[in-house]
């Protein structure tokens, strides 16, 4: 979307569209209500067009950075990017299971030269296993399944093969929605915008219905499980739509997802990895990674 588009014109266009989207707006409202909860990250004002700033520390290794060294322990090593929803999945699972690990943030635009030795596809997340020299796992779903099988505490996947398969089908269905978020930011015309919105809310209706059928607070039952954590990163970022619209919506739909979202915001792993929406928006607009060499979180 061009930076020269008048904000008032954008607001008017979105307002007309949403006047006919009765089922579209509750999910924006429910996330707006909760997104400003106090967390371990600072809350900031929205970015002005002339002075983009980042407030959440997210120091990423970049081209020319030295490969980090690690303490002499058996902790897992997660290569991540602070604002990547796929890497976010791995953080959630590791923290939900209380597994100690090191985090190394990678700039995905200017990747360190040595990173291909860690991740064959040079993507994040990548999980380096200290006990297996020179071997790393890639792809968020593979990593999360490995962690859940390797470390038995707080098992996140169902022990029932059929239930696990059904949950994985829902994860795959959600995967078809993830590109919608990027397309929403860069829509080109009214027709494309309307198609994106229709697809997004049709997808959300699937998960609203699934929660009703399961008759549980979370998809995993009384507490979050693998399916909950696999879809959460995109819900955390959902209020990015409100940043583009610069207004809130109040409609009474998606009641089950509303309760689910409220519960997820209270989860310890979610709170530990939560980034306020202001910083998400700044990253989307600036792609500023705050590159500082030698960044390792312990």
State the catalytic residues. 84
Q: Give backbone dihedrals phi and psi of 291, rounded to 5 degrees, phi first.
A: -75, 120
Percent of the chain that is helix, strand, coil (3-state, to 5): 45, 10, 45
- H or E stretch including 261? helix 255-265
Q: How far apart (Å, rounded) are the C-alpha atoms in residues 55 and 71?
A: 28
- No. of H helices and E strands in the chain? 13, 4
Residue whose C-alpha is closest to residue 166's, from 206, 205, 201: 206
Alpha helix (H) residue ranges in 69-189: 85-96, 115-118, 140-150, 161-175, 178-185
Residue 148 · residue 226 · CB < 8 Å: yes
């Amino acid at each position: 979307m061009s930076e020269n588009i008048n904000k008032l014109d954008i607001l008017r266009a979105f307002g007309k569209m949403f006047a006919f989207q009765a089922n579209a707006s509750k999910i924006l409202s429910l996330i707006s209500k909760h997104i400003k909860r106090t967390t371990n990250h600072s809350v900031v004002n929205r970015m002005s067009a002339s002075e983009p700033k980042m407030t959440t520390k997210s120091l990423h290794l970049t081209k020319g950075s030295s490969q980090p060294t690690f303490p002499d322990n058996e902790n897992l090593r997660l290569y991540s990017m602070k604002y990547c929803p796929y890497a976010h999945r791995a953080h959630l699972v590791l923290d939900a299971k209380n597994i100690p690990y090191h985090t190394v943030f990678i700039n995905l635009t200017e990747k360190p030269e040595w990173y291909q030795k860690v991740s064959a596809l040079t993507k994040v997340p990548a999980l380096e296993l200290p006990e297996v020299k020179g071997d790393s796992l890639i792809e968020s779903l593979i990593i999360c399944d490995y962690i859940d099988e390797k470390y038995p505490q707080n098992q996140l996947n169902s022990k029932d093969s059929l239930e696990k398969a059904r949950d994985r089908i829902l994860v795959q269905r959600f995967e078809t929605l993830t590109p919608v978020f990027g397309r929403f930011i860069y829509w080109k015309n009214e027709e494309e915008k309307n198609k994106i919105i229709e697809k997004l809310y049709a997808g959300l209706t699937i998960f609203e219905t699934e929660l009703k059928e399961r008759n549980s607070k979370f998809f995993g039952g009384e507490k979050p499980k693998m399916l909950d954590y696999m879809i959460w990163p995109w819900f955390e970022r959902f209020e990015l739509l409100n940043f583009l619209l610069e207004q809130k919506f109040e409609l009474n739909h998606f009641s089950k997802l509303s309760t689910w979202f409220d519960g997820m915001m209270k989860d310890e792993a979610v709170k530990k990895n939560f980034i306020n929406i202001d910083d998400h928006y700044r990253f989307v607009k600036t792609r500023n990674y705050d590159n500082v060499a030698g960044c390792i979180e312990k």
